[in-house]
Amino acid sequence: MPRDLSLSLQQSLAAKKIIVSDLIEIHLATAVYFTNGPINLVYDSPTAPDAGVNTYLAQGQFLGFGNISETRDIRVSQLDIAFTAVDYTTLGYVLNNDYIDRRVVLYRAVLDANFTLNAAKVFQYFDGRISDFNITETINECTLSLSVASQFADYEKTNGRRTNNTSQQKYFAADVGMEFAPQIQTDIKWGRP
Would you state the pLDDT for residue 192? 56
User: pTM of the predicted model, to two decimals?
Assistant: 0.68
Residue type, 136: T
Average pLDDT (149-166) is 64
User: Whole-angstrom Cα distance, residue 154 to residue 2?
Assistant: 23
Would you state the pLDDT for residue 64? 65
Tell me the average pLDDT of the chain.
77
Domain range summary for the chain, segments of one domain joined by +: 7-159, 160-193
30: which DSSP letter? S
- The more confidently predicted of residues 141 and 182 is 141
User: Whole-angstrom Cα distance, residue 175 to residue 183?
Assistant: 17
